[in-house]
Amino acid sequence: MSITINSINYKIIKDLCKVKKIGMNIYQVLNEKDNKYYVIKEISIKDEKKEIINDIQKEADILSKFKSDRIVKYYGSSKDKNNFYILMEYCEGNDLRYFIDEQKKNHPNQLLEEHIIYNIIKQLSFGIKEIHDNKIVHRDLKPENIFMNKNMEIKIGGFGVSKELNSYKKYNSTINKSGTFNYTAPEIIKYGKYNEKADIWALGCIIYEILTLRIYFEDKFSEDIQNINSDCYNTKWQSLIDSLLQIDEQNRPNIYEIIGQINKIEINRISNDKLGINTKIFNLNENIIIPKIIRRLDNSELKNLKFDKTNTIKSKI
């Protein structure tokens, strides 16, 4: 079986995901011309209202805006009378949820090394920067939507509930409080309102989870929120988390300010024996790959940021 997009046939290799409730299938496919794998999201539009079809088209339009290597690439879309198809990059590897769960399963009560955490958070932050620079709110940032290849390179996906910001309004409102509850900002849950600061809340939850291997919302519900381990990690991570998880979204920093804070964090080099860390979850040579990725981020992505006289990143949001 194959699917044709822009006159190219893509052979279905396997089902990656099926969501019967909304009539969506996600396939890994092979382009036999270039012999490369891709992903096709197939969404049923049979008997759907025009407004629904327009919303699906908007998702494709949103994906087409992004150029960053930190975001899953979009390659095109098409539709017929029954289905809408979105062609995307295939991310070989797993997601951040798998990475965290493997750590907890194989090494319970043992923390990740700080330089691995730094690498993940820095790449994720630059991906969010690209999203916000394009005046988009992701609204469903969570470990399951953060893909990681065998070289620990991050790509953000899961843009099905993303929305463009209306530049004439401080907030957009939505009746459908989209997103995953554990990572959804308080203003969305309470009022159905959001701006880019909703993604900042989700980022705070994710950083908390990577550093503690616990889910922030579950801890908050049980009033068992724990600070990061200051014996293993720089205490500036705690300050960053606290600033991101402000109930009043106006008090949360924007992504440029966050990147500025991250750049000032010095990594503690704790031995593997002390942390009991499994550094071979992805069978990588971290001493070569991770510094290389960080250097590339510093050299290519940081050079585009502008600083004021106090060495603070100027906000473009």
Task: Give dist(CA 36, CA 90) in Å, integer.
Answer: 9
Fold classification of 94-304 is Transferase(Phosphotransferase); domain 1 (1.10.510)
Answer left, alpha or beta for residue 15, where phi above 0 means left and psi between -120 and 50 means alpha. Answer: beta
Active site residues per annotation: 140
pLDDT tens-digit map of 1-60 = 889 888 899 999 999 888 777 788 899 999 988 999 999 999 888 878 888 788 788 878
pLDDT over threshold 60, residue 285:
no
pLDDT over threshold 80, residue 281:
no
Distance of CA 71 to the CA centre of its chain: 8
pLDDT tens-digit map of 259-275 = 999 999 988 765 455 55
Task: Give dist(CA 173, CA 192) in Å, integer.
Answer: 6
CATH top-level class for 2-89?
Answer: alpha beta
Task: Give dist(CA 1, CA 40) in Å, integer.
Answer: 13
Show me where the domains of the chain are located. Answer: 2-89, 94-304
Q: Which residues pair with 5 in a beta bridge?
A: 8
pLDDT of 175: 35
pLDDT, mean over the chain: 80
pLDDT of 244: 97
Distance of CA 139 to the CA centre of its chain: 10
Of all residues in the chain, the percent with pLDDT exceeding 90 is 45
pLDDT tens-digit map of 232-258 = 899 999 999 999 999 999 999 999 999
What is the bridge-based pairing of β-strands 24-31 and 36-44? antiparallel
pLDDT of 269: 63
Reported confidence tier of residue 224, pLDDT bands at 50, 70, 90? low
pLDDT over threshold 80, residue 187:
yes
pLDDT of 161: 54
pLDDT of 181: 82
Phi, psi of 239 (to 5 degrees): -60, -40
pLDDT of 287: 41
List the structure tokens of 70: 């930190």
pLDDT of 177: 41
pLDDT over threshold 50, residue 313:
no
Q: What is the mean pLDDT of residues 216-224?
A: 68
List the structure tokens of 242: 């606290």
Radius of gyration (Cα) for the chain, nearest Å?
Answer: 20
Its pTM stands at 0.79
